[in-house]
């Protein structure tokens, strides 16, 4: 068993495992933020920032879609590039519009998520994903 663990893996396997860890780690954490927003929305709390003046409810729904539902898609590795693209846009809006005048420390989380989602967008989902199963 130890020999199997210590056996060198191919770079493809290592990269796919690294992307899987990145996908699960970042989107698992972000989904908790989206879930909290979803719970607030379902409880009738619609006091939400409206940076594009579409309405607080529309902004809230779009943010919930990105942070919760796109995170679930990334966890599954399904529609990976589309979901990560949506999350990149969401995080950039949070960093530079919602927290625009704030110090860097207030933008830091959104920027870290942005970097991770850019990497996922560029690498794709890796072989440990539903995309790899369905789109061979």
- Angstrom distances, CA of residue 128 to CA of 12, 24, 69, 90, 117: 11, 11, 19, 25, 17
Q: How does pLDDT run across 44-103, given as a tens digit for each residue?
A: 999 999 999 999 999 999 999 999 999 999 999 999 999 999 999 999 999 999 999 999
Q: Say whether pLDDT at 4 is over 90.
A: no
Nearest to 57 by CA among 71, 39, 72, 44: 44
Q: Say whether pLDDT at 3 is over 90.
A: no
């Amino acid at each position: 068993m130890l020999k199997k663990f210590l056996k060198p893996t191919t770079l493809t396997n290592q990269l796919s495992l690294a992307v899987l860890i990145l996908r699960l780690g970042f989107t698992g954490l972000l989904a908790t933020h989206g879930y909290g927003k979803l719970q607030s929305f379902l409880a009738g709390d619609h006091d939400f920032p409206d940076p594009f003046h579409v309405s607080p409810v529309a902004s809230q729904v779009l943010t919930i879609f990105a942070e919760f539902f796109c995170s679930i898609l990334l966890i599954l590795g399904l529609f990976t590039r589309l979901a990560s693209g949506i999350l990149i846009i969401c995080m950039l809006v949070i960093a530079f519009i919602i927290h625009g005048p704030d110090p860097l420390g207030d933008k830091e989380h959104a920027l870290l998520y942005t970097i991770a989602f850019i990497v996922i967008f560029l690498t794709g989902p890796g072989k440990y994903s539903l995309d790899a199963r369905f789109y061979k």
